[in-house]
Homo-oligomer: A and B are copies of this chain.
Amino acid sequence: MKAAERQTAEGILFTDQYQLTMAQLYFRMGLHERQVQFDHFFRDYPDYGAHQAGYCINAGLAWLLDWMQEARFRDQDIALLEGQKSRNGGPLFAADFLDWLRSNGTFDAITLHAIPEGRVVHPNVPLTVVQGPLAVAQILETPLLNQLNFQTLIATKAARVHESARGRLLLEFGLRRGHGRGANEGARAALIGGADFTSNVGLSHVMGLPPKGTHAHSMVQVFLALGMSELDAFRAYADVYPDDCLLLVDTVDTLESGIPNAIRVFQELRRKGHEPVGVRLDSGDLAYLSVQVARMLDEAGFPKTAIVLSNNLDELVIWQIMTQIAQEAPRVGLEADHVIDRLVFGVGTRLITSWGEPALGGVYKLVAVCEKGEWRPAIKVSESPEKTPNPGHKHVWRIYDARGKATADLLSLQEEDPRQMSHIILRHPTDHTKYRTLEREQVSQIEPLLVPVLEEGMLVCELPTLEAIRAQRREDVQRLDPGVRRLMNPHIYHVSLTQRLWDLKQSMISELTQGREGLPAPPAG
């Protein structure tokens, strides 16, 4: 895509056609500037097949805001829309509507509340609340979902990989397997969710981090093709990078060639006063090789040299490697932790694509419409009750139990504040038989999660730095129950409604479905 085309494809036309046809309809009816509220939320945690998430890490907001600030209908965009034809041969979009878009088609009138990036989030909780003129709030749906769905997906996956890596350094290596330019959004989200660094050079600089990486198999191959050896390649690398010497040891044969050659070069380095950094293993049985390599490096006097592992890693593979090392290390006389503590994980394809579940089903649903200055809750009744959104303006509260662990997220009406309640009734969002009551002394903290971000297009909060986002993520994950943090079959975290929100939802559902009773039930679908 050429630069000029990128401006078209990544600007305000980075949206779905139906947003524009609906906008014109609203314009025609005089509804285009009607204030409305859309809630953005997801309905289910990622399910990777053999394993499932019990929480997500919210991400993507800052880059969405950057996009919103720049996106507007340029003359070129308007000209493209002018060229779109109806089936009757005339223009699809009328001149007066396009004029309105040209003057008003920005996000300067949007008010936005959001749960900050890096926070642990759960299904059916509004993560982003958009209020604004109907036409532009509608156009925003697609780009908002694009950014927030994907970054939350990848931050969540990164948190899982980080969890299974048990604090070892985690490097994001996925640029070559990411989905086009989306690899940048993915790398950012990985850094939020649990990756310490990325190999992606440009993105690292944008995020203020040093990129990570040393050399590939091809370097050794070049030397071999020119009649030199793996040892020559390693020596050359050590010469150029004496204090940053991390060698990929599996181009020829890890244990027979790579490690012996690396040790020789490391010894030469040390004699010259430099300490080697490590070796990388990119093929074979990584657990077995890690133990053998640790033993060989120990015996050669390099007990602290890092062992970087890569090659189709994900949370389960890392978990398995750790488990196998714990079993095998003692057999060769090593403490397992001595091997594990020096591991570094480079995770590519399976992190950047969220292998197993490559999309988060985040949605953007109309929940309120302003009429004569009054907000009226809106609802869509779905055949499956769990797909019926919670209507109206809402607050989101996180409730911590006596241990300080998060025990539930509670959605309330805007005017409710559970901090003022003597006891809190938590209603299941769809099952009327399920609720629990928390007495005040069972609760250590009640925290509002949504913060004001934009007020009529103006930024009204300070956006946190990457470090602050990561600190928030670490704290939130710490405050989860261990059962919720499990990689497989996690406990189900409670997302509940207050009694009054429950009552509102039920009354709206029965109003909407009145007169539909007695009809034959639709087939299951």
Contacts and interface: CB of A to CB of B under 8 A. Distances in A.
A38 to B, nearest CB: 8
A424 to B, nearest CB: 29
B18 A525 contact: no
A196 to B, nearest CB: 14
Contact of A184 (B9, B202, B285): B9
Interface in A4-21: 5, 8-11, 13-21
Nearest to A20: B201
A358 B355 contact: yes
Interface string A489-525: 0000000000000000000000010001001001111
B8 A237 contact: no
Interface stretch (A119-127, A248-256, A333-341, A403-411): A248-256
A177 B145 contact: yes
A380 B21 contact: no
A240 interface: yes
B353 A201 contact: no
A2 interface: yes
A70 interface: yes
Interface stretch (A159-167, A214-222, A454-462, A477-485): A214-222
Given A9-B184, A146-B176, A215 B22 contact: yes
Nearest to A287: B525
Contacts of A199: 16-18
A175 B366 CA distance: 19
A365 B17 contact: no
Nearest to A94: B240
Contacts of A516: 253, 256
Contacts of A2: 66, 70
Interface in A71-96: 80, 84-88, 92
B226 A369 contact: yes
Contacts of A260: none
A225 interface: yes
Contacts of A525: 283-286, 288-289
A315 interface: no
A276 B28 CA distance: 20
Contact of A146 (B80, B180, B512): B180
B218 A22 contact: yes
B176 A142 contact: yes
Interface string A81-114: 0001111100010000000000000000000000
Contacts of A177: 145-146, 149-150, 359-361
Given A86-B244, A180-B184, A369-B222, A519 B213 contact: no
Interface stretch (A204-212, A295-303, A445-453): A204-212
A181 interface: yes
Contact of A84 (B29, B151, B210): B210
Nearest to A274: B88
Given A199-B16, A240-B25, A176 B141 contact: yes
B175 A14 contact: yes
A240 B366 contact: no
Given A63-B1, A176-B149, A180-B186, A202 B11 contact: yes
B70 A13 contact: no
A476 to B, nearest CB: 24
Interface string A30-58: 01001010100000000000000000000
In the complex, the count of this chain's copies comes to: 2
A354 interface: yes
A222 B5 CA distance: 34
A128 interface: no
A213 B16 contact: yes
A200 interface: yes
A214 B16 CA distance: 9
Contact of A18 (B147, B216, B354, B355): B216
A175 B218 contact: no
A362 B188 CA distance: 23
A376 B225 contact: yes
Contact of A202 (B13, B26, B63): B13
A185 B180 contact: yes
A383 interface: yes
Nearest to A171: B17
Given A8-B202, A17-B199, A66-B1, A218 B180 contact: no
A217 B70 CA distance: 28
A213 B8 contact: no
25 contacts: A1-B67, A8-B206, A15-B175, A16-B199, A16-B211, A18-B215, A21-B215, A21-B241, A86-B241, A141-B216, A145-B177, A177-B359, A179-B180, A179-B185, A179-B353, A225-B366, A225-B369, A225-B378, A226-B376, A253-B519, A283-B382, A283-B383, A349-B361, A352-B359, A353-B358
Per CB-CB distance, the 4 closest pairs between chain A and chain B, nearest first, are: A182-B182, A180-B185, A17-B213, A13-B202
